[in-house]
C-alpha cells in the first residue's frame, strides 16, 4: 500500500481537479459515480492512544502520519483515509445507484494482524504472546448495499478475505450520521460485525503448536460478533489547516474475549491531530 500511496501523491501534484471523499463508514461518503476524473488529497499528523485487547500489549501510544488520497473515475473509486480511526484503504466500483440506494463491488483492508511482538507498533517480544504464530493483515472483497438520506447512511456488507490470511466470509452493518455545529463537523457511526468460525479460529484460536501448559491452553472458537462505535470531529483552524480528533470503541463477544490471546472484551482507541487540506 505504501508504494501505491506514494505513486498517487506524485500523480496528484500533476493534476488539478478537486473532489471530496471520506471513508466508507460515514454519510458524506462521495466515493461513487462521477463525471470523468476527480481527485483530492491531504496530509497531516496525529497522536494516538490505543487500549489494546491483546494479552500483554495493554496501552500503546505514539505519533503517526495521516495521508489521505481519493481518486474517482466514472464509477471507479480509490480512497486511502488515515485521518479517521475507522479509515483505511478502499477500492470500489459502483454497480447500481438508484432511488437513494447504491450497490458497490469493493475491496478493503479491515483487520490488523499480530505476532509475538504484538501489533506492528511494537518491536519487543511480548512474554504473554511467546510462541504465537504470525497472524497477517487481511484484504477483503465483496458487495456493499447502501441507503443514503440527507446526513444519514445505512450500509450492509458481505466480504471475503482474498489475501490468503483467514480466507473466510464475514459481514457488517453500519448506521452513521454527519452533523455540523457552528464550525465543528461531527461524524458518529456504530456497527455490527459478524465473523465466521474460520475468521475467529485464525486470529483468536490456539493450536497444539502454540499451546503452553499452564499458560496458554488450546482454543478453537466458533463464529463471533463485535460492536463498534466511533465519533470523529473536525474544526478548521484557518483556510488550510484542520484540527481533528476521534474515539473508536469495539466490544467483542465471548467467542473472542475468551481466547487465551485476548485480555478483555473491549478495545478503545483515541486520536488527536491536524491535517493540511489543499
> Tell me, what's the pLDDT at 83?
86
Residue 260, pLDDT above cutoff 70: yes
Q: For residue 106, what is the enclosing H or E element?
A: strand 101-108
Separation between Cα atoms, residue 30 and residue 53, nearest integer Å: 33
Place of cell 499528523: 45
Query: End-to-end alpha-carbon separation of the chain, Å?
Result: 22
Chain mean pLDDT for the chain: 86
Q: For residue 62, what is the enclosing H or E element?
A: strand 59-73
Class of domain 2-277: mainly beta
Please say whether the beta carbons of 211 and 218 come within 8 A. Answer: yes
- Give the pLDDT band (50/70/90) at residue 35: low
Separation between Cα atoms, residue 39 and residue 19, nearest integer Å: 5
pTM, to two decimals = 0.85
Angle at alpha carbon of residue 139, lines to 136 and 145, rounded to 5°? 145
> Tell me, what's the pLDDT at 148?
86
> Tell me, what's the pLDDT at 121?
65
> Tell me, what's the pLDDT at 29?
47
Three-state secondary-structure class, residue 234: strand
Neighbours of 278 (CB within 10 A): 11
State what percent of residues in the chain have pLDDT above 90. 63
Segment 66-95 mean pLDDT? 88
Segment 148-168 mean pLDDT? 93
> Tell me, what's the pLDDT at 190?
95
Residue 41, pLDDT above cutoff 90: no
Amino acid at each position: 500500500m505504501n508504494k501505491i500511496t506514494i505513486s498517487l501523491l506524485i500523480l496528484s501534484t500533476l493534476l488539478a481537479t478537486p473532489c471530496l471523499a471520506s471513508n466508507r463508514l460515514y454519510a458524506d461518503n462521495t466515493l461513487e459515480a462521477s463525471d470523468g476524473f476527480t481527485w483530492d488529497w491531504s496530509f497531516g499528523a496525529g497522536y494516538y492512544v490505543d487500549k489494546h485487547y491483546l494479552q500483554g500489549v495493554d496501552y500503546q501510544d505514539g505519533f503517526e502520519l495521516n495521508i489521505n488520497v481519493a481518486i474517482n473515475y466514472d464509477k471507479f473509486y480509490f480512497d486511502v483515509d488515515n485521518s479517521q480511526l475507522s479509515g483505511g484503504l478502499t477500492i470500489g466500483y459502483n454497480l447500481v445507484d438508484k432511488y437513494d440506494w447504491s450497490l458497490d463491488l469493493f475491496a478493503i483492508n479491515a483487520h490488523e494482524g499480530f505476532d509475538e511482538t504484538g501489533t506492528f507498533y511494537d518491536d519487543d517480544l511480548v512474554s504473554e504472546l511467546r510462541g504465537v504464530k504470525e497472524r497477517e493483515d487481511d484484504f477483503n472483497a465483496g458487495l456493499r448495499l447502501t441507503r443514503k438520506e440527507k446526513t444519514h447512511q445505512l450500509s450492509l456488507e458481505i466480504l471475503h478475505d482474498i489475501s490468503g490470511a483467514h480466507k473466510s466470509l464475514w459481514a457488517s452493518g453500519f448506521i452513521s450520521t454527519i452533523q455540523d455545529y457552528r464550525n465543528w463537523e461531527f461524524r458518529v457511526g456504530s456497527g455490527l460485525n459478524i465473523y465466521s468460525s474460520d475468521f475467529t479460529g485464525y486470529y483468536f484460536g490456539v493450536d497444539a503448536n502454540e499451546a503452553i501448559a499452564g499458560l496458554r491452553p488450546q482454543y478453537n472458537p466458533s463464529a463471533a460478533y463485535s460492536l463498534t462505535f466511533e465519533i470523529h470531529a473536525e474544526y478548521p483552524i484557518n483556510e488550510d489547516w484542520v484540527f481533528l480528533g476521534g474515539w473508536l470503541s469495539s466490544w467483542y463477544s465471548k467467542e473472542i474475549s475468551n481466547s487465551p490471546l485476548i485480555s478483555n472484551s473491549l478495545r478503545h482507541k483515541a486520536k488527536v491531530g491536524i491535517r493540511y487540506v489543499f
